[in-house]
Amino acid sequence: MQLIKVDPRALRENPDRMRQTKSTPQADALLLATIKAVGIVQPPVITPETAGGNGYVINAGHRRVKQAIAAGLEEIHVLVDEAANDNGAMRSMIENIAREALNPVDQWRAIERLVALGWTEEAIGVALALPLRQIKKLRLLANVLPAMLDHMAKGDMPNEQQLRTIAAASLAEQKEVWKKHKPSKADPQVSWWSVAQALQKTRMHARHASFGDDLAQAYGIQWVEDLFAPADEDSRYTTDVEAFLGAQQEWMANNLPKKGIIAEATNHGEVKLPPKAERVYGKPAKSDCTAMYLDRDGRVQTVHCRMPAAKKPKGQIGAGSDNAPDDVGEVSKSRPDVTRKGVEMIGDYRTDALREALGRAPIEDDTLMALLILAFAGQNVSVTTASGGIYYGHSRLAKNAAALFDADGKLSFDMDTLRVAARNMLVDVFSCRENATNSGIVARVAGAVVGADTFLPNMGAEDFLSCLSRPALEASCKDTPVLPRQRVKDTRAALVEHFKEGHFVHPAALFAPDATKLAEWLSSGSAAPDDESETDEDVDGEGDERADGDADAEAFREAAE
């Protein structure tokens, strides 16, 4: 054979080649990425044309030639062989059938070699068109027992979670477990689930700890770093569960509120309150108790409870008891100047007069805006807010309106004060969350008017992209260098990596409402939500919220402020 350089565009395809089926776009993208990174590792094999021409025919390496052209290479190295009687048909078949794919263990060894030569994990991922997570997963094999590696090299691999559990254990522990679960002639397959279960250790994470370094040292807690955890979170952990829980218990005892108790948790991780105590789900009263407990993850949780009323001691003298003094007389109540019925009649008179004046009396524009803000502070108004609370008249809404009054309690303001009060009121009232706090289509219109689209956060993260279907995810690859992968999670991982430094907003999250829905709302004159009725949703705002609804609400609040 002779090694020469040729223009890949001058080579002709072999009509008798073995592989006639088109390769997948993902496979082509992988080959193109490797050629751009390191060039063609194995030169294609060509032969001179047998029909009297002066060109060359490809015997092996059609895909390499095609992707070299796509990469823009002007010349490539090729091996020139003598023409065969069968036009290379047998050689093509052998080249495709006898070839064996690289097993994961050999892939890991190759990656470690590249890292030793100075390659970064990110660069290896780009060259091989592999997600960074896959590179990190393969590098877990560095902590696996050699005997297990030899078995994994045969193609019997555990899943990622099992591999993480195995790699987190010491080699001595792995060796003991492998003796019991290694394959035999009767059962050549390994139950990796059983291996992982035997090596499983309960991890207590530092991010769940309420105690500080002083208690950690006192209880002898040594934190271990999980090198394969996400970089944006505290990945330290300990397997000393008893010491961790002891430090948490001591922290609770040292930080117990004045009316606080330390409660236990049930087997399901729920708090176990004292007998006859009632849990308080709303705003606690001053007389309520605070119960602290540890959940199943070892985290300190706090709930409020109401203890039963104390019983009066027997024999206590009260106003209605037989032992009360006989000379205590009842003082008659004086009649008020206006009875309750009269107060109600005055309320009716005032309301009718106020409506008449608002409909007919001249009102300046600034006064009209101030009165509109005051209307939200009325006792008959309640707003389920985007933050999950319910504001009534003499609450936060009233605080926004209070800025419009002077020290004497008279309505007095300038335009700057009025603008601030109006913005704060809109921030508290408008919401796009997909629950009972949703203001409906009016919040979408308001967001479009104030340009809230520019305040939407980057949605190119795992938590939001995991909500998209395959077609929607692949559509998000448009106008990016990311190509759709064969597996959805690989496509998502590539998009997350791409948008780390960028800004992605899904079209469905934009504020401008659908023209048809807006027309229907205008024609009906109703301010109902633009989607299905949500009266059964959780008022706390902690129910079934969607990521784009949260993003809309936060973007509107930023734009309004």
User: Quick one: tokens of 144?
Assistant: 């696996």
Question: Band of the pLDDT at 330, cuts 50, 70, 90?
Answer: very low
Q: In this predicted model, what pLDDT tens digit does every residue of 66-110 receive, in sequence order? A: 888 888 888 888 888 776 555 555 565 555 555 556 678 888 888
Question: Band of the pLDDT at 254, cuts 50, 70, 90?
Answer: very high
CB atoms within 10 A of CB 305: 18
CB atoms within 10 A of CB 216: 18
Q: In this predicted model, what pLDDT tens digit does every residue of 125-181 receive, in sequence order? A: 777 767 888 888 888 888 899 999 888 888 888 888 888 888 888 888 889 889 888
Contact 498, 453 (CB under 8 A): no
* Residue 312 to residue 290: CA distance in whole angstroms: 24
Strands 289-294 and 260-262: parallel
Q: In this predicted model, what pLDDT tens digit does every residue of 514-546 receive, in sequence order? A: 888 888 878 875 444 444 444 344 433 333 444
What DSSP character marks residue 405?
Answer: B
* Residue 109 to residue 113: CA distance in whole angstroms: 6
Strands 2-6 and 204-205: unpaired
* Residue 36 to residue 29: CA distance in whole angstroms: 11
**Higher per-residue pLDDT: 299 or 233:** 299
User: Quick one: tokens of 177?
Assistant: 């477990």
Question: Is the Cα dihedral 385, 538, 277, 298 positive or negative?
Answer: negative
- 406 pLDDT exceeds 80? no
* Residue 54 to residue 70: CA distance in whole angstroms: 25
Q: Which residues contact 366 (CB under 8 A, 6 or more apart)?
A: 413, 415, 418
Pick among 3.30.110.30, 3.90.1530.10, 1.10.8.50, 2.40.128.20: CATH of 2-97: 3.90.1530.10
CA 444 from centroid of its chain's CA atoms: 23
Q: Which of 153-157, 248-252, 330-334 has the lowest mean pLDDT?
A: 330-334
User: Highest-confidence range of 39-43, 167-171, 448-452, by mean pLDDT?
Assistant: 167-171
pTM of the complete model: 0.34
Question: Is the Cα dihedral 526, 528, 529, 531 positive or negative?
Answer: negative
CB atoms within 10 A of CB 109: 17
Strand partners, 197: none
